[in-house]
């Protein structure tokens, strides 16, 4: 009567390497789209911040009866017209340039998509 040898069941090295290879391919395909999604989200947040600053400047100008070209600083807008000073998410914490009344606020990064079209053109 021959002895039965218990065989261990498990994955071979080749099977594990194939699985790792497939996962690496999937990650390499998905990573660029994740990075693009992050950049799009930062752009949308920046434009929303610029819109808020512009609206706060308009409210400040109406409340103080300021004319076009009058200088405004962020300290004039916070906390009465903005809850807190917004920062560009892509700018590494740099603050926005408020600019004078009648001039749109600008993003510190200077990226082409980080612009708020306040004229409606």
Cβ(80)–Cβ(62) below 8 Å: no
2 within domain boundaries: no
Cβ(99)–Cβ(106) below 8 Å: yes
Half-sphere exposure of 115 (CA within 13 A, CB side): 9
* Model pTM above 0.95: no
5 within domain boundaries: no
pLDDT band at 14 (very low <50, low <70, confident <90, very high): very high
74 within domain boundaries: yes
Higher pLDDT, 105 or 4: 105
4 within domain boundaries: no
Question: How does pLDDT run across 62-72, given as a tens digit for each residue?
Answer: 888 888 888 88
Angle CA 98–103–109, to nearest 5: 50
115 within domain boundaries: no
Per the structure, the complete domain to which residue 69 belongs is given by 16-108
The mean of the pLDDT values for the chain is 85
CA dihedral 43, 49, 55, 59 (to 10 degrees): -170
61 within domain boundaries: yes
C-alpha–C-alpha distance, residues 74 and 82, integer Å: 9
51 within domain boundaries: yes
Cβ(71)–Cβ(61) below 8 Å: no
69 within domain boundaries: yes
Domain count, the chain: 1
C-alpha–C-alpha distance, residues 61 and 99, integer Å: 13
């Amino acid at each position: 009567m021959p002895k039965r040898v218990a065989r261990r069941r498990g994955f071979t090295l080749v099977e594990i390497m194939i699985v790792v290879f497939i996962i690496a391919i999937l990650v390499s395909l998905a990573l660029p789209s994740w990075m693009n999604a992050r950049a799009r989200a930062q752009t949308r947040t920046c434009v929303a911040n610029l819109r808020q600053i512009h609206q706060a400047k308009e409210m400040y100008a109406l409340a103080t009866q300021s004319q076009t070209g009058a200088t405004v600083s962020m300290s004039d807008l916070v906390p009465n017209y903005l809850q807190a000073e917004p920062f560009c998410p892509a700018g590494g914490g740099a603050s926005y340039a408020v600019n004078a009344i009648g001039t749109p606020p600008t993003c510190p990064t200077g990226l082409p998509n980080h612009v708020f079209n306040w004229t409606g053109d």
